[in-house]
Copies of this chain bind each other. A is one copy, B any other.
Amino acid sequence: MSDKDETCENGLSPDALRATTLDAQICFALYSASSRMTKLYRPLLEPLGLTYPQYIAMLALWEKAPRSVGSLKEALGLDFGTLSPLLKRLEAQGLVDRRRDPKDERRVIVDLTEAGRALRVSASKVPEEIVCRVGLPRETMVSLREALRQLNAALDENGAPKA
């Protein structure tokens, strides 16, 4: 545990006390913004037959395939308990296939099918449409990204190890 933990136990500074509400605001704003962004994706992803988690799994696979389920778990921060059925659905849709790694039979290797690779073309129109629908100026987007990057980095280091 870092030295920051020490200042937690005892008396809160006025700043920390004021931060109490701040925290609630941030956490709820985060929770709210995240689920609303997911809702914004829904109508764009539905024609592709994908949910948002399935979409980010496909993004990871378009980036690099074949790859193991564990590698997707690390990349997406999702549990095996979430990924296993999700990948099974993608397989049922004919977008990926799954097979045991002959080198290590514990591993499962996920790869894109021809249909999975083909889907990338229609999916490529999604992000620009999202940026457009959000309608925020570029500087705002950049500073949001920066703030989120710092938060995720802090979560890496402190409380929330890995995924």
Contact = CB atoms under 8 A, between A and B. Distances in A.
A127 interface: yes
Interface string A136-155: 10101111110111111011
Q: How many copies of this chain sit in the oligomeric assembly?
A: 2
A23 B130 contact: yes
A68 to B, nearest CB: 20
B149 A29 contact: yes
A36 interface: yes
Contacts of A7: 132
A27 interface: yes
A23 B159 CA distance: 26
A65 interface: no
